[in-house]
Amino acid sequence: MERERKILHIDMDCFYAAIEMRERPELAGRPLAVGGRDRGVLTTCNYEARKFGCHSAMPTYLALRKCPQLVVVPVNSELYRETSQLIRRVFEEFTDLVEPLSLDEAYLDVSHLYSEGGSVAAEVRARIKETTRLTASAGIAPNKFLAKIASDWEKPDGQFEIYQDEVAAFMQELPVEKIWGVGKRTAEKLHRLDLKTCGDLQQRSLVELDQRFGKFGQQLHELCRGIDQRKVNPDRERKSVSNERTFSEDVKNVEQGELRLVDLLDDLEADYEKGHSERHIREGFVKLKFDDFSVTTAQRAMKVVQRDAFFELLLEAWHRGDGKAVRLIGSGVRFVAKEKEGGNDAQMELL
């Protein structure tokens, strides 16, 4: 019989804001956001600020209107990355099967640990608190999909476990929006078909879902029953590093575009040097989104972040717009794939 899996999803609570509160204790307990002032947006805010209706991606001016006493501090990526490393190391005390999703979030497969999933999660959270003085929330479930949903349930500083024999009942009432891979558009389509919950979806046949949603239909058919076979994949390798910026006002000419690209390339170089310098670059690219939302990407082979080539790529992409103004510029490099490492595959196959 297949061994039941124990998957944890760990997610730090208001991560950037929590770090800022730790660094400046005088701010603790006050509504605090991390983000850009003036025309910027909030990257996140603490739970005090959320009580006023503030949330990540909200324009700062709007957040200040909702909560005039809101303290807004700038983003300090380096500090967050350091903290993220510490958390990563805590995860690795428990298992090699760690799949980071972002700086503050990861899946852990702890099927091989004999303790109850819930107590492993409690221990991981306690170790994180000891190491970083920050709180995390956890979801514990037989698969990734359910673990991620569960980690949101008792946020902040809490955990929630979904046991295998509870899955069927749990799925009945779960809104379709919570299904992994269902974005806004798919959700609308599901609603038009009168499908609001996973229980509703379970009433539809695989054939029908396949006809309506193509390949995704099969996944929907499984996910709405709480079935998710995806493995925790620890060696997912970065394929590229990139950045992009949407401007509050469209950029009208390429000279202005070049000025913006300078900033992006500074950041790109710093990101590469700090986090990925062991990787070999195979090409660089420039991405543009025009004012009609069409997107184009120009790329060229290079081995380092070669600035003059990036400016030529900008020019090339710009001309494709036929005079259209530009609302977003992105820059990035793609890596040569790491050589596949043999040897410990068997150990990673836990399914």
Residues that bind ligand TTP (CB under 6 A): 11-16, 43-44, 56-57, 102, 104-105, 155-156
Determine phi and psi for 11, rounding to 5 degrees.
-140, 120
As given in the structure block, the two tokens for residue 304 are: 């380092």
- By the 8 A CB rule, do 151 and 178 touch? no
- Closest separation between CB of residue 50 and Mg ion, Å? 12
From the list 78, 105, 237, 278, the catalytic residue is 105
- Report helix, strand or coil for 169: helix
Cβ-based nearer residue to ligand TTP, 79 or 309: 79
Comparing CB distances to ligand TTP, the nearer of 32 and 286 is 32
Look-up of token digits 């695989």 = 206
Which of Mg ion, ligand TTP, none lies near 109, with the C-beta cut-off 5 to 8 A by kind? none
Min dist CB 249 to ligand TTP, Å, is 21
Region class of 133: left (phi > 0), else alpha (psi between -120 and 50), else beta? left
Stretch that binds Mg ion, among 100-108, 140-148, 254-262, 297-305 (CB under 5 A): 100-108
Is the Cα torsion angle 257, 263, 267, 269 positive or negative in sign? positive
The smaller minimum CB distance to Mg ion, of residues 10 and 195, is found at 10
Among 7, 10, 12, 124, binds Mg ion (CB under 5 A): 12
Beta strand 136-141 pairing with 159-161: parallel
C-beta of 243 vs 296, nearer to ligand TTP: 243
Residues in the chain: 351
Residue 56 touches which of Mg ion, ligand TTP, none (Cβ within 5-8 Å per kind): ligand TTP
Is the Cβ–Cβ distance between 52 and 67 less than 8 Å? yes
Instruction: Please report how close the Cβ of residue 114 comes to ligand TTP at its closest, in angstroms.
Output: 29
- From 15-23, 34-42, 196-204, 325-333, span contacting Mg ion (CB under 5 A): 15-23
- Residue by residue, DSSP assigns 130-144 as HHHS--EEEEEESSH
Residue 143 contact, options ligand TTP, Mg ion, none, Cβ 5-8 Å cut-off depending on partner type? none
Contacts of 207 (CB under 8 A, 6+ apart): none
Q: Does 20 bind Mg ion (CB under 5 A)?
A: no
- Identity of the residue, 19 or 190, whose beta carbon is nearer to ligand TTP in the bound complex: 19
The minimum distance between CB 286 and ligand TTP, in angstroms, equals: 22
For the packed helices 117-132 and 77-94, what is the interaxial angle rounded to 10 degrees? 140
User: Please, what's the largest Cα pairwise distance for the chain?
Assistant: 65
Q: Report in angstroms how near the CB of residue 106 gets to ligand TTP at its nearest.
A: 11
CB 15 within 8 A of CB 153: no
Residue 85 contact partner, candidates ligand TTP, Mg ion, none, CB within 5 to 8 A by sort of partner: none
Least distance between ligand TTP and beta carbon 345 (Å) = 31
- End-to-end CA distance of the chain: give it in Å, rounded: 11
Q: Which C-beta is closer to ligand TTP: that of 138 or that of 305?
A: 138
Mark whether 105 is an active-site residue.
yes
What tokens were used for 265? Answer: 């390339």
Q: Which residues bind Mg ion (CB under 5 A)?
A: 11-12, 15, 104
User: Which residues are marked as active site?
Assistant: 105
